[in-house]
Structures are given as C-alpha cells and as structure tokens.
Amino acid sequence: MGVFTQSVAVERAPDGAPQGLHWNGRDYVIAERPMRWFERRRWWAEEVRAEKGRGPGLVDHEIWRLQVRLARAGSAPVQTLDVAHHLDSGRWRLIRVHEVAHDLRRTA
C-alpha cells in the first residue's frame, strides 16, 4: 500500500512491546514478535530549539514493525505494518503498510 500517516491505538504488554492494535474500526493481534528501532527525525525543522540532554522523542522516533492479523479471524492473513510511537505524547501513528509477499515457491 505504501507510506502514509494515520492515528492508531496500540495496546502494550508490560515490557512495552505492542500486543494489540485498533485500526480502521478493527482489532488486530500481534502474530509474530515485534521488531523495534529508532529513526532520526528532522527535529530542526519542527522544533524551535533542542534542550540540552533531551534526545529520545525529540531527535529519534521509536518505530515498530508489527505482523498483525484480525483478532476475530484466527485464519486471517498476516499483514506487516510499521508504526511510530511519539514518546512525549504517547501517540501512535501508522506510517507504512507493506505489500503482501507472494509465495515464490508456487509454480505456475
């Protein structure tokens, strides 16, 4: 589908990792262990100044790659999504929906 930004609700486990997602009126469960990394944001274009000692949330975005499936359909296909977590506000944004990978082992 591509890259965009849309607000989503994320339920977190005690260790802070996402364990559920509410998107487009549907509930999703995490199908595989989520992956987390941090990406630099263009803070100099969005902020007036950077306070000394403040980095997470200002300089970096927390990004999670989630493999999810519909909660009410255990046999639903898995979708891969990237979500960004804004550390200061606690808000979550869906930033990418990955294309579904086709099974290359199938023969024509």
The answer to whether position 105 is within a domain reads no
Residue 75's pLDDT is what?
84
Q: Is 108 helix (H, G, I), strand (E, B) or coil?
A: coil
Token readout for 61 is 């975005």
12-71 pLDDT, tens digit each: 999 999 999 999 999 999 999 999 998 877 766 666 666 666 555 566 788 999 999 999
Residue range 84-90: average pLDDT?
85
- CB-based contact 64:85 (threshold 8 Å): yes
* Domain annotation covers residue 19: yes
Number of structural domains, the chain?
A: 1
In terms of pLDDT, which residue wins out, 91 or 48? 91
Does residue 77 sit within a domain?
yes
Domain around 89: 2-97
Least confident of 29-38, 82-91, 93-102: 93-102
Tell me if 86 is assigned to some domain: yes
Residue 22 lies in a domain: yes
Residue 33 lies in a domain: yes
